[in-house]
Chains A and B, each alone.
Chain A
Amino acid sequence: MRQLIAIIVASSVGLAACGSYPAPTERLASSQAALRVAQEFNATADPQAALHLKLAQEQLEQAKQMLADDNNKRAEYVLMRAEADAELAEALARESQLKAQAQQAQDDVRKAKAGAGLGGGK
């Protein structure tokens, strides 16, 4: 009987109680930082990047609301999502920028080669 009670108590502790979850201050800081990085990288320029930036912002707001409601555990998870979206927004913006630069550089080479061909005939 004593064994049974011990097992029940142990399992109950395993079923987490929301109120005792610590406030995700580090996660809040890192996701806000990730958002700032994405914004500085002008993530709005590329449509895909802009989408994920918006998702990050929305989820950050959602998390803040959950923190205000003392729902720390849900807040932490939503902040994780926000951080991931912000990181993706930055990566997409960077990719888009570099692709444009590569295209420009390749176009410049094509033009230069064409010009040289005409000029050589003189």
Chain B
Amino acid sequence: MKRKSVSVVALALGSIFALSSVACGTTNPPKELVEARAAYTRAESGNAGKVAPAQVHVAKKALDDAEKAFDDQGDEPEVRDKAYVALRKAQIADARAGAIIAEQQKTQAQKDMGQTTQTELASTKKALEEARGKLQIEQQQRADAERRSKEALEQLAKLAAIKEESRGTVITISGAVLFPSNQSVLLPGAISALDNVVTTLQASPDRDVLVEGHTDSQGARAYNMDLALKRAESVRQHFISRGLSPERVKASGIGPDRPIADNKTPEGRAQNRRVEIVVSPPERK
């Protein structure tokens, strides 16, 4: 009697199990589950595994949930729904990872931008400072040259007559100050007077200079012309030796041809024996 009831129970249990659990892993997994498994593996082994582990964990839980449902129920709508959700969770993990990485790249680029801007700014500043420095030096040099020129002119005025004429500024120096009698070699004392002229001329480098030698009318004309020219040349050479550009300076022997005083008196003759340094007006270009 006992044996019979046990076997009936066993049969009943067997059929109930057959009814309530459709499969025990023998049906094929739904495509949603297959996709979910693949997506999880991709996410876990890719960037998401490194930078979005929390989201990967969520995806794993969803996948486990789907797998359990499949084991329990087989290919049922709910199993497919759970697998669908698991698939989405894995895709979300990938998207979150992508966003994190993009944000890191953005931040890095912004840093780089900051550095590049700083570097540019620094080099621009440096260039500006260098230009400023140069300008300051130039301005200082020009101020110094003008000051020296002014001082020289004041000194010169003690020894020379300075007149503005239509042909330019005319600096007239007596021959006695510059040369021994009948000679064209410069006196030692002439140097400082001529150096003052040089300083004045250096302040206006764009103006040409003409050195004219003049004599009185005494003696042979040819002699006077020769002496006048040689004296003008001596002055020109001195100017060049002091750094004036040779193209700027010309020498000319006028001789007795342009007297400024009466040759009949000794004083007049002394006045006529002179050197005129003509500084041409600035060229109108």
Across the interface, do A102 and B20 meet the contact criterion of CB distance under 8 Å?
A: no
Answer yes or no: B117 CB below 8 A from chain A CBs: yes
Q: Is B92 an interface residue (CB 8 A)?
A: yes
Contact (Cβ within 8 A) B85 A88? no
Contact, CB under 8 Å: B112 / A109: yes
- B149 in contact (CB, < 8 A): no
Task: Give the chain B neighbours of A85 by CB distance below 8 A.
Answer: 88
Chain A residues with CB under 8 A of B96: 91, 95
Residue of B nearest to A78 (CB): B81
A102 touches B81 (CB 8 A): no
Residues of B within 8 A of A15 (CB): 19-20
Residue in B16, B88, B99, B110 whose CB lies within 8 Å of A95? B99
Q: Does A28 contact B (CB under 8 A)?
A: no
Closest to A77 in B: B81
Which bracket fits the contact residues of A?
35 or more
Q: Which of A86-122 contact B (CB under 8 A)?
A: 87-88, 91-92, 94-95, 98-99, 101-102, 105-106, 108-109, 112-113, 115-116, 119-120, 122
Q: How far is the CA of A97 from the CA of B106 in the complex (A)?
A: 11
Give the number of residue pairs across the A-B interface with Cβ within 8 Å: 97
| Contact call B109/A109, Cβ cutoff below 8 A | yes
Q: Mark A5-47, 1 if CB is under 8 A from B, else 0.
A: 0011001001100000000000000000000000000000000
Residues of B within 8 A of A91 (CB): 91-92, 95-96, 99
Least CB distance from B81 to A in Å reads 4
Which of A8, A106, A119 is the one whose CB lies under 8 Å from B105? A106
Q: How many B residues touch the partner, as a band?
A: 35 or more
In the complex, given contacts A11-B19, A94-B99, what are 20 additional A-B residue pairs having Cβ atoms less than 8 angstroms apart? A7-B16, A14-B20, A52-B88, A80-B82, A80-B85, A81-B88, A84-B89, A85-B88, A88-B88, A88-B91, A88-B95, A91-B95, A95-B99, A95-B102, A98-B103, A99-B98, A109-B113, A112-B116, A113-B116, A115-B120
List 27 A–B pairs whose Cβ atoms lie within 8 Å, in order of A's numbering: A4-B8, A8-B12, A8-B16, A11-B16, A11-B19, A11-B20, A15-B20, A77-B78, A80-B81, A84-B84, A84-B88, A85-B88, A88-B88, A91-B99, A94-B95, A95-B98, A98-B99, A98-B102, A101-B102, A102-B103, A102-B106, A105-B105, A105-B106, A105-B110, A109-B116, A112-B116, A116-B120
Which A residues are closer than 8 A to B by beta carbons? 1, 3-4, 7-8, 11, 14-15, 52, 74, 77-78, 80-81, 84-85, 87-88, 91-92, 94-95, 98-99, 101-102, 105-106, 108-109, 112-113, 115-116, 119-120, 122
